[in-house]
Structure 1
C-alpha cells in the first residue's frame, strides 16, 4: 500500500483542517496516511501574544523519516508571500537527504492559506514547490478536474498549483466545503499518482 505523509504547519488551525481533508482524499485514493506537523520555532511569547493554536493532535515529524513515504503533501500558511519560517526551518534540515537523493522520484504537492484572496497563495505554493523540486519530487497540483476552483460566485481558494483556503484578516473564516473538497481531490490525485509510479 502506498504511504503518504501530510506534513503541515498551522498557526490558527486553518491548515490543520485542510491537512485532514487532504488525508481523507489520500485514503480514498488507497493510501496509508500519516498526518504530522513541523515544530514550532517562534518564541513562546510570540506564540502566546499572537494567539497561536497549541493543542494539536498530530505528532511532530522527524526529517529522517521522510524517505519512508511514497508521497509527501506539504501545507503551510503564507508569510509575506512565502512559506513560514517554521516550515522552511524543517526543510533546511534535509540537506543530508538531498545529498543522498533519498527523496528522488517520490510524489509531492502543496497547499496553503492566506488572509485575503490576493494574499500570496500562488507565490507561497511555489515557495514550497521549489523546495520539493530541488528534493527530486514529482509535483502534483490541483488540476482543473476539480471544477470547484472555477467561477466567482463565492469567495473561495483554489489554484492549479495546490489547494488553498482564505482565512480572513482576523482568521474568523474557516475553510469552506468547496475548499475542503479541493483538498480531498488533490490528496486523492497524489495518492493515485504515487501508486501508479510505484507499480
Structure 2
C-alpha cells in the first residue's frame, strides 16, 4: 500500500477544506494517508487580528518525517505567486535530507488557494518546482482529467498544475462542488502514479 502524506498550511481554512476531498480521493484509490500541517510562525495576537481560522487537530510535520512516505500532496495559499513564509521555512529545514538525497525518487503534487482567478495559482506551483528538483522528487501534475477544468460557466479554481479554490480577498468564498470534485480526483490519480513510482 502506497503511503502518502497530505501536508497543508492554511490561514483561513480553505486549503483544509480542499484537503478533505484530496484525502477522500487518496483513500478511494487505496492509499495509506498521513495528515499533517506546517507549523505556524505568526503569533496568536497577529492571527487574532487577521481573523484567522482555528488550526485543525493535525500533528505538525517535522522535516525528519518526510522519508517515511512514498509521496506528498502539499496544499497552501499563494503569497505573491509563491509559497507562504511558513511553507518556505519548512522546506528550508530539509537541507539534511537534501544532503543525503533521502527524498529522491519520491512523488509530489500541489493544491492551492488564491483570492482571485488571477492570483497566481499556476505560478505558485511553478515557483515551487525548484525545491522538488533539488531533492530529486518527481512532480505529478493533475493534467486535464475532468470537464470542470474546461467550464467557463462559473469561476472554478484549479488548473492542470493541481486542484485549487478561489477564496475572495476577504475569505468569504468557500470551495465549490466543482473544485472539491477536482481535489478528490487529484488524490485518486496521484495515488495511482505514486504507487507505480514506489513499486
TM-score > 0.5 by shorter chain: yes
* Contact 2:112/2:158, CA 8 A, preserved across alignment: no
Q: Distance in 2 between matches of 1:162 and 1:134?
A: 20
**What CA RMSD, in Å, does the superposition of the two structures yield over aligned residues?**
1.1
Runs of 4+ in 1 over 6 A off after TM superposition: none
In the alignment, is the contact (CA less than 8 A) between 1:38 and 1:60 conserved in 2? yes
Q: Deviations over 1:37-87 (max 9, x none)?
A: 000001232211101112412111111010000011111001111110011
Asked if structure 1 preserves the Cα contact closer than 8 Å seen for 2:156 and 2:166, the reply is yes
Give the gaps of 5 or more residues in structure 2.
none
> Aligned residue pairs: how many?
199
Aligned to 1:114: 114
User: Which residue in the other structure is 1:23 paired with?
Assistant: 23
Match of 1:42 in 2: 42
Matched residues in 1 for 2:15 and 2:84: separation? 12
Listed one character per residue, the Cα deviations across residues 87-137 of structure 1 (whole Å, up to 9, x for unaligned) are: 110010000001101110001001110010001111112223332222211
Contact 1:10 1:77 in 2 (8 A): yes
TM-score (norm 1): 0.96
Give the distance between the partners of 1:112 and 1:192, measured in 2 at CA.
21
Contact between 2:12 and 2:53, CA under 8 Å: does it hold in 1?
Answer: yes
Offset at 1:198?
A: 2.2
Q: Which aligned pairs between 1:158-197 and structure 2 lie closer than 5 A?
A: 158-197=158-197
SS at match of 1:23: helix
TM-score (norm 2): 0.96
